[in-house]
Amino acid sequence: MDKNRVIVILAIGLIAISASGVVYILQPRAEQGKQALVVSTTTSLFDTGVLDEIEEVFEAENSIDLYFISVGTGLAIQHAKRGDADMILVHAPSQERAFLEEGYGVCRKIIAYNFFAIVGPEDDVAGIRGLPPTDTLAKMVEKGRAGEAIWVSRGDDSGTHSKEKGLWASAGFDYAALRDEDWYRESGTGMGKTLQIAEEFQAYALTDMGTYLKYSEEGLVALEVLVGEGEELINIYSAIAVSPSTNADANFDDAVTFIKFLVSDEGQAIFSDYGVDLYGSSLFLPAVALLREEADPDVVGWIEDFAYIEGSECPPEYRADQQDLYG
């Protein structure tokens, strides 16, 4: 891949905005003697800061420069399909499956998990505190249509947005119809900004816990977790390399090196420890040992049900001869 080419994306980063409003990011050069590895990733990983810590440790041990494109999962996958990234870190299993089946991705590994939560104002005008997720959304529709509550969605085809649409369907509602109603708002942006918009309107939103804990602890939002954890709200992060068969210019070897780091004891420890000192709990929970040892059968079952593909985190035909990842 030519790391110096200009790519067109809709992310916030090192940007230049043309008169037409199109956003460009110039891919940075790797340091002399190092290879550049471009990772397209979801904002819910990037905004928490965990990738900064991973980058620092990984680069100290490898002659590889990491560069992250931070966008929603849907756009992260599109960048990889276009050849703008060497691998992806995302959290939308249905979109990940399509990425593999369409021939774009290989070597999928589940690396971490946490839970989504439904947050809202302290006074909880919708009265959803502690309800099951499907009952929560039914109550939101009732209160929204009565003009008593507002819902803010990311509306950006991200992993969080995909989860939200699935929850609306489970609750018996048509997302496409809801988004035309006045009480239902779409931010069209990342998780952090969506939380701040919800805060401004004293509204409700679905969020990943990592971003929520960071923004809450830093005083950026005062919204409270009203519905959290449980099978329906599990949030699973995966790493996938771009297939060298589809894109011969992709930096496949370094992508595999990075995936191996993420699933190593060292990489998993970063997820396990990240945020404990600042937030009182880890923002992410390591998944590798959990799945290998089946330490918590309930959570393992939730991960398998929601994120496995044909009974595996990566079916054999998509492993690109990297069997040591799946020993």
Looking at the domain assignment, is residue 247 inside a domain? yes
Q: Which of 39-43, 67-71, 237-241, 277-281 is predicted with the least confidence, judged by mean pLDDT? A: 277-281
Looking at the domain assignment, is residue 280 inside a domain? yes
> What's the pLDDT tens digit per position in 237-265?
999 999 999 999 999 999 999 999 999 99
Asked whether 252 and 241 are in contact (CB, 8 A), the reply is yes
Q: What is the mean pLDDT of residues 48-65?
A: 96
Residues 71 and 140 in one domain: no
Looking at the domain assignment, is residue 1 inside a domain? no
Residues 123 and 222 in one domain: yes
Range of 151's domain? 116-233
Q: What is the pLDDT of residue 32?
A: 62
Query: How many structural domains are present in the chain?
Result: 2
Q: Is 172 left (phi over 0), alpha (psi -120 to 50) or beta?
A: left
Residues 89 and 18 in one domain: yes
Residue 293: Cβ within 10 Å count: 9
Question: Measured between alpha carbons, how far is 177 from 170 in angstroms, rounded to an integer?
Answer: 15
Give the CATH number, domain containing residue 172: 3.40.190.10
Indicate whether this model's pTM tops 0.85: yes
Residues 183 and 244 in one domain: no
Looking at the domain assignment, is residue 145 inside a domain? yes
Looking at the domain assignment, is residue 105 inside a domain? yes
Amino acid present at 128: I
Domain stop point among 233, 253, 277: 233
Instruction: Spell out a b/e string for 210-239, using b for 16 or more CB atoms within 10 Å of the CB, else e.
Output: bbbbbbbeeeebebebbbbeeebbbbbbbb
Over its C-alpha atoms, the chain yields an Rg (Å, rounded) of 20
> What's the pLDDT tens digit per position in 145-187?
999 999 999 999 999 999 999 999 999 999 999 999 999 999 9
Looking at the domain assignment, is residue 301 inside a domain? yes
Which of these, 43, 45, 54, 233, lies nearest to 136 by C-alpha position? 233
Residues 134 and 215 in one domain: yes
Q: What is the pLDDT of residue 295?
A: 87
Distance of CA 84 to the CA centre of its chain: 18
Residues 202 and 280 in one domain: no
Residues 252 and 225 in one domain: no
Question: Measured between alpha carbons, how far is 184 from 98 in angstroms, rounded to an integer?
Answer: 29
Q: Which of 9-13, 35-39, 141-145, 316-320 is predicted with the least confidence, judged by mean pLDDT? A: 9-13
Domain stop point among 233, 267, 296: 233
Residues 161 and 52 in one domain: no
Residue 112 has pLDDT above 90, yes or no: yes
Domain stop point among 211, 233, 255: 233
Looking at the domain assignment, is residue 199 inside a domain? yes
Residues 175 and 205 in one domain: yes
- Dmax over CA atoms of the chain, in Å, equals 62
31 vs 207, higher pLDDT: 207
Residues 120 and 182 in one domain: yes
Residue 18 has pLDDT above 90, yes or no: no
Residue 9 — very low, low, confident or very high, per pLDDT cuts 50/70/90?
A: very low
Residues 147 and 216 in one domain: yes
Residues 278 and 310 in one domain: yes
Mean pLDDT of the residues in the chain: 90
Question: Measured between alpha carbons, how far is 223 from 148 in angstroms, rounded to an integer?
Answer: 17
Looking at the domain assignment, is residue 321 inside a domain? yes
Asked whether 110 and 313 are in contact (CB, 8 A), the reply is yes
Percent of the chain with pLDDT over 70: 90
